[in-house]
Amino acid sequence: MRALALMAHPDDAEIFCGGTLIRLQEAGWEVHIASMTPGDCGSMVEGPSEIAGIRRREAAAAAAKIRATYHCLDRRDLRIFYDEPTLQAAVEVVREVQPDVVFTHPPHDYMLDHEMTSKVTRAACFGASAPNFDTGRRPAAASAASIPHLYYASPAGGTNIFGEPGSYSVYVDVSEVIGLKADMLSCHQSQREWLRAQHGMDHYVEEMKRWAAELGGRCGVAYAEGFRQHVGHPYPASDLLAQTLGSFAPAK
């Protein structure tokens, strides 16, 4: 079994679904982490190519903590668009990984890079199994066998742009793996100063734990991650995540 987290920036996968990826890896799954960009705008002091190089290494180191493979689709920060090259790159990674489960951002999130990534990933999950969708790669990668199970992670900060809380169809208990999730996130050292300066976030690891504790509080565990499954036709609607890791009732 294979899981792919396809998110906008390096560190998004660790923040929004890192604990779930750890648990799937521990259950014997092959895990892949992909970011649309190498995080080229995530610095107040380094130039784009310098910070991108640093962040690629940080992302690869975080993935290596759980023997996951890191992929970068080489888009650019603040310029992730629903366009042909981006969709082609996303289809190629889905065809390469052939995932059973894909995680991405929710359709509504704090910045448009996340929303575009959500749309592109949704389309790529569909298009990867359509053999006539030619990405231009030669030799062409084999089409995916079927549409993977698609799950949207929580919005940043747990709320959408109107301050409304995210809604989830499944919670994953990450209490036992919160330490390793924090270790993975700590690999993104360059982001501490950036998030403090630009997001007013004092320490991103503590902030991640606070969000996970808030979601845990909704389902009666110490730390959780929440997801909403894409169940519209023709995406698979069986809850493979809950079947694999156990399910908790969504909050009322």
State yes or no: residue 228 binds Zn ion (CB under 5 A). Answer: no
- Site size toward Zn ion (CB under 5 A) is 3
Interface residue with Zn ion among 3, 4, 5, 8 (CB under 5 A) is: 8
Q: Are 208 and 178 in contact (CB under 8 A)?
A: no
Tell me which residue has its CB nearest to Zn ion. 9
Only one residue has tokens 């975080």, namely 62
Binding span for Zn ion by CB under 5 A among 2-10, 30-38, 195-203, 213-221: 2-10
Q: Which stretch binds Zn ion (CB under 5 A): 9-17, 20-28, 65-73, 139-147?
A: 9-17
Q: What angle do CA 232, 237, 240 make, to 5 degrees?
A: 145
Of 195, 42, 74, 113, nearest in space to 50 by CA: 42
Rounded to a whole number of angstroms, the minimum distance from the CB of residue 93 to Zn ion is 17
* Selected range binding Zn ion among 5-13, 30-38, 56-64, 192-200, rule: CB under 5 A: 5-13
Residue 8 or 63 having the CB closest to Zn ion: 8
* 8-16, 29-37, 163-171, 236-244 -> range binding Zn ion (CB under 5 A): 8-16
Minimum separation from the CB atom of position 65 to Zn ion (A): 19
Residue 8 or residue 87: which is nearer to Zn ion going by CB? 8
Among 9, 23, 218, 230, binds Zn ion (CB under 5 A): 9
With contacts defined by CB under 5 A, name the span among 6-14, 30-38, 92-100, 223-231 that binds Zn ion.
6-14
In angstroms, give the least distance from the CB of 31 to Zn ion. 19
Q: What's the rounded Cα separation, in Å, for the pair 77 and 81?
A: 10
Structure tokens at 167: 């809604």
Taking alpha carbons only, the member of 60, 72, 94, 84 closest to residue 184 is: 60
Rg for the chain (alpha carbons), in Å? 17
φ, ψ (nearest 5 deg) of residue 169: -100, -15
Q: Please list every residue from 11 through 70 that binds Zn ion, using CB under 5 A.
A: 12
Q: What residues contact 222, with CB distance under 8 A and at least 6 apart?
A: 175, 178, 213, 216
Q: Which of residues 164-193 bind Zn ion (CB under 5 A)?
A: none
Report the phi/psi class of residue 22: left, alpha or beta, with left for phi > 0 and alpha for psi in -120 to 50: alpha
For the record, the structure tokens of 174 come out as 């990450």
Shortest Cβ distance from residue 145 to Zn ion (Å)? 30
Residues 6+ apart with CB under 8 A from 138: none
CA 162, CA 41: separation in Å to the nearest integer? 25
Closer CB to Zn ion, 12 or 58, in the complex: 12
Residue 18: CB minimum distance to Zn ion, A? 13
Binding site for Zn ion (CB under 5 A): 8-9, 12
